[in-house]
Amino acid sequence: MTAEKLKARKVARRPSQRQLRSDAEKYRKRALELGAADAKVIPASYAVVDERVRLKCAVPRCHLYGECVNCPPYTPPPSQMRRILKKYKYAVLFKTHVSPITDFVDDEKWHIGHMAHQRKIHDIASAIEGLAFNDSHYLAAGFAAGGCKTALCSGQVCQFLDSGRCRFPLKARPSMEGVGIDVFDLVTKVGWDVYPIAVREVDPESVGCAISVGIVFIH
């Protein structure tokens, strides 16, 4: 059975608010269809950019810092991101539940376990962004969770940094935190539960839930 093809929409210079809200709701539902545990249409202004978030990529230094083109220091700096996000009005925020929680908490399972969970966020973010682009929201921009080097390339050397050719050019995205978005602040702002997890030290029984989060800015 052949999948139904998407219909392209003519670009409108100023789409109506009704159309924007309708499209955002469509993308929210699509995120759920793609496997998100929950998704919300939010004002883009809910996403706060804080230099300290990106600082945490370097202090203490993440194992992906400088190892992937979609991780700092290669991602847009917070000052630029702050200016860019002011131009957006709506976004779709989505999350997946990590199960078992030990995929994020257990030190031995984390390195492999988190790959599949964060890959799912890349899959959803890229799909929603592509759908929005097809609907004439050509400036839609998606951000995922974690580094695409592990989520998509299983820890292999970043091919873009090595040769200038990304293995997954249409799917790889910077993480929200990698561009300075305060994910914890945003998640609690919409009423979702989130726990900071320090691998090796956190008792899994104390973690009520583990989640992975992505976002697509629409217009």
Tell me how far apart the alpha carbons of residues 122 and 178 are, in angstroms, rounded to a whole number: 14
pLDDT at 1 over 60: no
pLDDT at 28 over 70: yes
* Token pair 């993480």 in the structure block, residue: 175
199 pLDDT band (50/70/90 cuts)? low
Q: What tokens were used for 215?
A: 């976002």
The total number of structural domains in the chain stands at 1
What is the tens place of the pLDDT at every residue in 167-183? 999 999 999 999 999 99
Q: What is the mean pLDDT of residues 96-109?
A: 80
What percentage of the chain carries pLDDT values higher than 70? 96
Tell me if 5 is assigned to some domain.
Answer: no
Tell me if 6 is assigned to some domain.
Answer: no
Tell me if 4 is assigned to some domain.
Answer: no
CA distances from 39 to 44, 192, 206, 211, 212 (A): 14, 10, 25, 12, 12
First CA to last CA distance, the chain: 34
pTM of the model: 0.93
Q: What is the mean pLDDT of residues 119-139?
A: 96
Tell me if 105 is assigned to some domain.
Answer: yes
pLDDT at 188: 97
pLDDT at 3: 60
Contact indicator for 211, 96 with CB cutoff of 8 Å: yes
Tell me if 174 is assigned to some domain.
Answer: yes
Tell me if 93 is assigned to some domain.
Answer: yes
What is the tens place of the pLDDT at every residue in 44-100? 999 999 999 999 999 999 989 999 999 999 999 999 999 999 999 999 999 999 888
Contact indicator for 104, 113 with CB cutoff of 8 Å: yes
Tell me how far apart the alpha carbons of residues 122 and 115 are, in angstroms, rounded to a whole number: 11
Tell me if 188 is assigned to some domain.
Answer: yes
Tell me if 67 is assigned to some domain.
Answer: yes
Residues of the domain holding 157: 17-217
